[in-house]
Amino acid sequence: MAANRDPILAVEDIHTAYGLSRVLFGVSLRVAPGECVCLLGRNGVGKTTTMRSIMGLTPPSSGRVVWKGRDIRRAAPFRAAALGIGFVPEDRRIFADLTVWENLDVAARRARPDGFTTERVFDLFPALRQLRDRAGGFLSGGEQQMLTIARTLMGNPKLLLLDEPSEGLAPLVVDHLQEQIARLRSDGLTILLAEQNVDFSLNLADRVYVLEKGHIRYEGSAREFRENASIRQQYLAL
Ligand SMILES: Nc1ncnc2c1ncn2[C@@H]1O[C@H](COP(=O)(O)OP(=O)(O)O)[C@@H](O)[C@H]1O
Ligand SMILES: [Mg+2]
């Protein structure tokens, strides 16, 4: 299966701390091209820190972050972005005073033949086309989440890191978001998703990792995970 293919991203035994506060203790995970991999775990276990470690926002003190065969553990965040890693942070930092279109336009990189344009992004998120002239600050939570993802796509990422996209959204909005992310997947984008929402994750993911207190406790296909009630109870308390 996909996990055995050459990974586009391999996180190998990383340890990450904020000052003296150690958070990740030897986290390893792999993402193959075209895969959707989910990092599941309860609040505070280190999901965001794992993503920040990959992006170089909080560089790991040891281990390796291997992108297409090269260790980028010490690379600056803008380098990771330029290499093709797009990070959608959980706090949806859009520009409240800019319109939807302007939010996308400021994020555009130099045009590439295979790259994203505002038109292509509007094709993927038709709701945003309707809202193109509305200020970011006047969007609903779900619309802001779509805009945050869309804006990251404007940087032409090969891998999308999605940090708890479903958080704080109403169930119907979560369903819609799930469809949108599924479309990105079928469009060929590789995705690493951090989530607490198990149903949302399992509907999208090929493979799952469960993180607990900075350790990976489980790794398996989404199907195996669905059937493993004891893991869910033990680490996710479901
Ligand atoms: N900037 C920070 N400074 C110090 N501790 C932090 C910081 N960010 C997160 N932490 C701590 O690191 C741990 C993991 O946090 P985080 O990676 O955000 O978990 P998750 O995303 O799974 O909720 C938590 O104990 C949290 O309090
Ligand atoms: Mg988090």
Neighbours of 98 (CB within 10 A): 15
Residue 161 lies in a domain: no
Per the DSSP assignment, residues forming a β-bridge with 220 are 208
Residue 150 lies in a domain: no
CB of 59 closer than 6 angstroms to any ligand 1 atom: no
Instruction: Yes or no: say if 164 and 90 are a contact pair by the CB < 8 Å rule.
Output: yes
Residue 21 lies in a domain: yes
Domains held by the chain: number: 1
Q: State how far the Cα of 93 lies from the Cα of 104, in Å rounded to an integer.
A: 12
CATH number of the domain residue 59 falls in: 3.40.50.300
pLDDT in tens, the chain (238 residues): 445 678 999 999 999 999 999 999 999 999 999 999 999 999 999 999 999 999 999 999 999 999 999 999 999 999 999 999 999 999 888 999 999 999 999 988 766 777 888 999 999 899 999 999 999 999 999 999 999 999 999 999 999 999 999 998 999 999 999 999 999 999 889 999 999 999 999 999 999 999 999 999 999 999 999 998 888 888 887 6
* Distance in Å, CA 212 to ligand 2 centroid: 13
Q: Which amino acid is at 75?
A: A
CB of 23 closer than 6 angstroms to any ligand 1 atom: yes
Q: What is the pTM for the complete model shown?
A: 0.94
* Distance in Å, CA 141 to ligand 2 centroid: 17
Residue 236 lies in a domain: yes
* Distance in Å, CA 91 to ligand 2 centroid: 9
Residue 4 lies in a domain: yes
CB of 41 closer than 6 angstroms to any ligand 1 atom: yes
Per the DSSP assignment, residues forming a β-bridge with 71 are 66
- The residue range of the domain holding 222 is 1-83+201-238
Residue 54 lies in a domain: yes
Per the DSSP assignment, residues forming a β-bridge with 229 are none
Characterise 198 by phi-psi region: left (phi > 0), alpha (psi -120 to 50), beta (else). alpha
Which secondary-structure segment (H or E) carries 160?
strand 159-163
Residue 164 lies in a domain: no
